[in-house]
Structure formats: structure tokens, C-alpha cells
């Protein structure tokens, strides 16, 4: 795992409320400043960093003068709305001290369950990273309902890691990592340095369903690592107050518990597309585009599309076929079928005139394309 971290180019860091708010007492400027300094240093090394941060409700409660966490959903949402202002301001000011830009991104589960919104969120985050901006992500608690909740920010961290194809997810917590049992109750509890993400015994160690240990504690982190591993992202669970923890992890130092994904990142993503049974449609491409896609591993551009088959939406999985009707590849469409018919055979310079907006230059980006 140490070598994987040293090679990691894109890292998602998740920090919990107890760390961000100094155990609920309000935003901890020193702690946030330390993580921002480390993230800026990682960016200077050429790495891309996304921060998933809890803490909005706790900060909102402090600003509103509430000492007891409310139970009513509208009051929790009000606290989140107030707290998000402080959370965003804190990250913005601390990152700016180190010459980094920041952006606040608020998500719900519905944003990532819908393929079109998923692609929109992915495009936004990747664009921010390309401009050397660090996105600071939180659940959109001001509008969220039970139906669209992530449930916890560990889950959100894993989904964001999937969303941006992260190499590593780092979950910073107030614990050293994962033990074979609750060390507060079992003197013989063994620290787990490294294990395979998704291994059934990890959930038992973390407290499993129905256990008092497993209510929002280490079990959510183990399950988040399992979810991240489904797209080939490995996870490290580490103590957030460890000095220079992010820099030392990135340098290859073994800190915390490493949960290793058994599938390579690109292979996992492309396997999902290759196995996708509900193809919504297809595009037929000319010989030049077929060669670019099949032989050179290039993205598919609309100028090479000669026919659009079926009805599909942005984010749907579609097939790419040659003039003989043979499937060459499949991937995630950047444009719906109606838009694709308008821009087929056209260069990207004409997209704005034809569509009324300028979207991605590719019909399917090579990162979202798998050969048949």
C-alpha cells in the first residue's frame, strides 16, 4: 500500500465532525489549517486532492447558540445552512493562505444515483481539479431527506472517490485505525495494519450490524472502504491529529489501517461498463473514428458519428458500432440522442450554434469507453 500511496495522483480525503469541530466545540481553525497546508503541499507535488468534510451542523449549532443537537429535521437543516457558511469560509481562507483556490460542492445521494447528474457532478469536479482548485464537499443537509441521504460522510467519501476515479481514499478519524476487537473492552485486541477491502471478517471486527460498536463508528468506514474498492480505490483509515499525516502517507509511510482494493482502478470501471446490460442506444461511426477508438485508444468525437440509433440520455451506456454494424466499444454518452443527432458529423466549433451551449468536445471520453 505504501507504494500505491506514493504513486497516487488523485486523493480523496474525508475528515469527520469530531476532528473538524474539536469534538463539537466549533470549527477547529488550527486543525483545518494543518490539513489545508498539507493538501496545498500535495498539490505542489502534482497531485489532485478532493476534501470531503463534515462539521456543518456542529458549527451551525455553535453559531445559533444551541447546546443540544435538535431532533427536528427543519432545525437540523437550518443549523446546516448556517454552518455551511462557516465551513466554506474556513477552508477558503486556510487554503488561500497557501496559494490554493477552493470550491464548495454540496451533494445528495440523488445527485449520484442519476446518471446525468452523476456525469454533471463528475465533470464539475474534474474541471475544478484541472484548474488547481481543491473541492470541499459535504452532504447538502439543507435540502436532504431520508430518501436521498448518504447516511454518513464516510459513504459520501467513498462515492466521491468512485466519482472522480481516485487512486486512494484517506479517512481521517479520531481513532488510530481498525482493531480486531474493541480495544476499550478487549485488552487482546490486535491492530490491523493492512487487509483486503471488503473481507467479511472486517465487518465483524468493526462491530457488524446490531453491535453497539458499529453505530456510525468504525463499521461505516469499513463499509466505505468496501464501496470504494468496487471501483478499484484503496482506503487508509488513520488518526487525523497525527502530525503531517497526509504528507507522510503520500511519502509511503505506513500509518493507520490500509484496506486494499483487489481490482485495479481502470479495470474495475471498465468492467462495469463492459457488463452493462441495459444499453440505451448506439452510435455508428466512420472508418476513421473506428480506427481512432479501436486502434489508438482515443475518445470518440461527434464528427466521426454517422448515425445515432435509439433514444438515450446523457450518462447512459451506449454502444459504438462500425459501418458494418459490429460493436467496437461501449461507454457513457456525454450527449443525449437528440443532441447527438444535431452534432453528428460536426466539429466542436459548431456545437454552440447547434445546441445553444458548448459542452464536452467528445461524444464519449476515452476514460468512459471500454473496447468490445
pLDDT tens track of the chain, all 372 residues? 656 677 899 999 999 888 998 887 889 999 999 999 999 999 999 999 999 998 888 899 999 999 888 888 888 889 989 999 999 999 999 999 999 999 999 998 778 777 788 888 999 999 999 999 999 999 887 776 654 455 678 989 998 998 898 999 999 998 899 998 878 788 888 999 999 998 988 988 887 543 333 234 788 899 999 989 988 899 999 999 999 999 999 999 999 999 999 877 666 666 656 655 568 899 999 999 999 999 999 999 999 999 999 999 998 889 999 999 999 999 999 999 999 999 999 999 999 999 998 889 999 999 888 887
* Cβ(61)–Cβ(83) below 8 Å: yes
pLDDT of 4: 67
For the chain, residues classed under CATH 2.30.130.10 are: 276-371
User: CA torsion sign, 142 to 146 to 151 to 155?
Assistant: negative
pLDDT of 267: 64
Nearest to 93 by CA among 152, 136, 149, 156: 136
Residue owning grid cell 445515432? 308
Q: What is the DSSP letter of 190?
A: P
Decide which of 2.60.15.10, 3.40.50.1110, 2.30.130.10, 2.60.40.1930 is the CATH code for 276-371: 2.30.130.10
pLDDT of 181: 84
The DSSP H or E segment spanning 133 is strand 133-139
Residues constituting the chain: 372
Query: Distance (Å, rounded) from C-alpha 164 to C-alpha 176?
Result: 27
Which residues are paired to 69 by β-bridges?
Answer: none
Classify the phi-psi angles of 190: left when phi > 0, otherwise alpha if psi is within -120 to 50, otherwise beta.
beta
For 246-300, strand residue ranges (E) read: 257-260, 281-285
User: How far is CA 67 from each of CA 61, 84, 239, 267, 350, rounded to the nearest angstrom?
Assistant: 7, 18, 27, 49, 58
Cα R_g (the chain), whole angstroms: 22
pLDDT of 72: 85
pLDDT of 252: 92
pTM of the model: 0.80
Q: Give residue-wise pLDDT tens across range 250-282.
A: 999 999 999 999 877 666 666 656 655 568 899
How many other CB atoms are there within 10 angstroms of residue 290's CB atom? 21
Q: At what angle do helices 73-96 and 56-64 cross, to 10 degrees?
A: 100
- Locate 75 and state its grid cell: 432545525
Decide which of 3.40.1160.10, 3.40.50.360, 3.40.50.920, 3.20.20.70 is the CATH code for 2-267: 3.40.1160.10
Q: What is the DSSP letter of 187?
A: T
Query: Distance (Å, rounded) from C-alpha 270 to C-alpha 317?
Result: 11
For the chain, residues classed under CATH 3.40.1160.10 are: 2-267
* Cβ(168)–Cβ(8) below 8 Å: yes
How many other CB atoms are there within 10 angstroms of residue 206's CB atom? 25
Backbone angles phi, psi at 204, to 5 degrees: -65, -40
Amino acid at each position: 500500500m505504501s507504494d500505491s500511496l506514493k504513486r497516487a495522483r488523485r486523493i480523496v480525503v474525508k475528515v469527520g465532525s469530531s476532528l473538524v469541530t474539536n469534538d463539537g466545540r466549533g470549527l477547529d481553525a488550527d486543525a483545518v489549517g494543518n490539513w489545508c497546508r498539507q493538501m496545498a503541499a500535495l498539490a505542489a507535488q502534482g497531485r489532485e486532492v478532493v476534501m470531503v468534510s463534515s462539521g456543518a451542523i456542529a458549527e451551525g449549532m455553535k453559531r445559533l447558540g444551541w447546546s443540544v443537537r435538535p431532533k427536528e429535521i427543519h432545525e437540523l437543516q437550518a443549523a446546516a445552512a448556517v454552518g455551511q457558511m462557516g465551513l466554506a469560509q474556513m477552508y477558503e481562507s486556510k487554503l488561500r493562505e497557501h496559494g490554493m483556490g477552493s470550491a464548495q460542492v454540496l451533494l445528495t445521494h440523488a445527485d449520484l444515483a442519476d446518471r446525468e447528474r452523476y456525469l454533471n457532478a463528475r465533470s464539475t469536479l474534474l474541471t475544478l481539479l484541472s484548474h488547481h482548485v481543491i473541492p470541499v464537499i459535504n452532504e447538502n443537509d439543507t435540502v436532504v431527506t431520508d430518501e436521498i441521504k448518504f447516511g454518513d460522510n464516510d459513504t459520501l467519501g467513498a462515492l466521491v472517490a468512485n466519482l472522480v476515479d481516485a487512486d486512494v481514499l484517506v479517512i481521517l478519524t479520531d481513532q488510530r485505525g481498525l482493531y480486531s476487537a474493541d480495544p476499550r473492552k478487549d485488552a487482546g485486541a490486535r491492530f490491523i495494519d493492512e487487509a483486503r477491502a471488503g473481507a467479511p471478517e472486517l465487518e465483524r471486527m468493526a462491530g457488524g450490524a446490531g453491535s453497539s460498536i458499529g453505530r456510525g463508528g468504525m463499521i461505516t468506514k469499513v463499509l466505505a472502504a468496501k464501496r470504494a474498492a468496487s471501483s478499484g480505490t484503496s482506503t487508509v483509515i488513520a488518526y487525523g491529529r497525527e502530525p503531517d499525516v497526509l504528507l507522510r502517507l503520500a511519502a509511503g509511510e505506513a500509518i493507520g489501517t490500509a484496506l486494499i482494493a483487489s481490482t485495479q482502478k481502470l479495470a474495475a470501471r471498465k468492467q462495469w461498463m463492459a457488463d452493462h446490460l441495459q444499453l440505451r442506444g448506439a452510435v455508428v461511426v466512420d472508418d476513421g473514428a473506428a480506427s481512432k477508438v479501436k486502434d489508438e485508444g482515443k475518445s470518440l468525437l461527434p464528427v466521426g458519428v454517422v448515425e445515432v440509433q435509439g433514444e438515450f440520455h446523457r450518462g447512459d451506456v451506449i454502444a459504438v458500432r462500425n459501418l458494418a454494424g459490429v460493436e467496437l466499444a461501449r461507454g457513457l454518452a456525454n450527449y443525449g440522442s437528440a443532441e447527438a443527432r444535431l452534432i453528428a458529423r460536426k466539429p466542436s466549433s459548431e456545437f454552440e450554434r447547434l445546441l445553444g451551449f458548448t459542452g464536452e468536445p467528445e461524444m464519449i471520453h476515452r476514460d468512459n469507453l471500454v473496447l468490445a
